[in-house]
Amino acid sequence: MKRHWLLFSQTVTVLLAAWFVVATLKPHWLAQRPSLASVVPVFQIEGDQRSPTIASASLSAAARAAAPAVVSISTSKAVRHPHAQEPWFRFFFGDRPEFEPQTGLGSGVIVSPAGYILTNNHVIEKADEIVVQLSDGRQAPAQVIGTDPDTDLAVLRIALDDLPVIVLGRSELLEVGDRVLAIGNPFGVGQTVTAGIVSALGRSQLGINTFENFIQTDAAINPGNSGGALVDAEGHLVGINTAIYSRSGGSMGIGFAIPIATAREVMEAIVRDGAVTRGWIGVEPQELTPELADHLGLPGAQGVVVAGVLQDGPAAQAGIRPGDVISRVGDTPVRDVAGLLAAVAARQPGVATEVEVQRRDGRRTLTVIPARRPPPSAR
């Protein structure tokens, strides 16, 4: 009996020693392997269908719905070389053509079966030739229907049949945090889809356009994406990608898109009238700060300061003068420069409207007859 007990104790001692060595040197040998049942629910593939977990997080349906309507736009124009005809230049560099071709690249979105395409004005500005390429490989020359430099929008038209058309969404219903996709042709590599969220709404005073109300997104937007689509999780167009904030020339997670609500109004005006008609009164507006309000003797005033008035312009003829604070245009209260520009632009040229101003001696209501807003070159 004593002999059996000794043998048992030695066996247990050896097994414990072996377990200790393995646990110390090879602990993964003792780790419990996950069962097949614990892996299958995450990566399970049933036929050609993905699991609900993966499918619910995917934006592939939105990309499939929107991508066919996003096109690549190639432009070319002849640029005159400033020194081509100068003798010293010809002596060092030889005879060179006076005009040299310059090419550009951007994107656009087909918004109508009739072939209308929305894009950015800066994509096609001063182009001699514009060629549109669809995602299915078809190409066609484009006609410029009209442009609106104040919002950096342009409307093109191509003559092709069976065009894919994107569904227009409602940008006014967007909220910060909504998922969005940016679709375009960055750097000419081909159609590319990037994902992100709505980072902010109503971005203005960026110095990009005259009228600014941008959607900010962190979806990657790069050169070549200009004029492309910003779509929601259902694949509906909610914005036209326009600009990025970048120190490197590439995406840094801050991109801006023109809301489709603005783009739709501009497009309808261009298709109907060939141009966008806006009101204009000829003032140079400036933000009203508390310090400036105190300096003007109007503490607590709200509105926009008139920094300058165009001689013989509509505002000057109505009696508006530098130093006035505009607080209302028609029935629209004015709180900032963007609000003043929008309120004046919405007025019908030639139709009198009331403008409320504040001065040291009190409030006054003046009658202004807006003129038609001139193009940027004339201003």
Question: Any idea which residues carry the catalytic annotation?
Answer: 122, 152, 226
Report CA torsion sign: 148, 154, 155, 157.
positive
CB 355 within 8 A of CB 329: yes
To the nearest 10°, report the CA torsion of 131, 153, 264, 230: 80
CA torsion angle for 278, 283, 284, 285 (degrees, to 10)?
-80
Phi, psi of 95 (to 5 degrees): -70, 125
Full 3-state SS string of 40-102: HHHHCEECCEECHHHHHHCCHHHHHHHHHHEEEEEEEEEEECCCCCCHHHHHHHCCCCCEEEE
Residue reference for tokens 């081509």 = 84
Give every CB contact of residue 107 below 8 A, 6+ residues apart in sequence.
70, 71, 72, 73, 119, 123, 183, 184, 185, 224, 225, 226, 227, 228, 229, 241
Q: For residues 106 and 56, what is the distance between their CA atoms, to the nearest angstrom?
A: 32
Contact 224, 187 (CB under 8 A): yes
CB within 8 A of 322, min separation 6: which ones? 306, 307, 308, 309
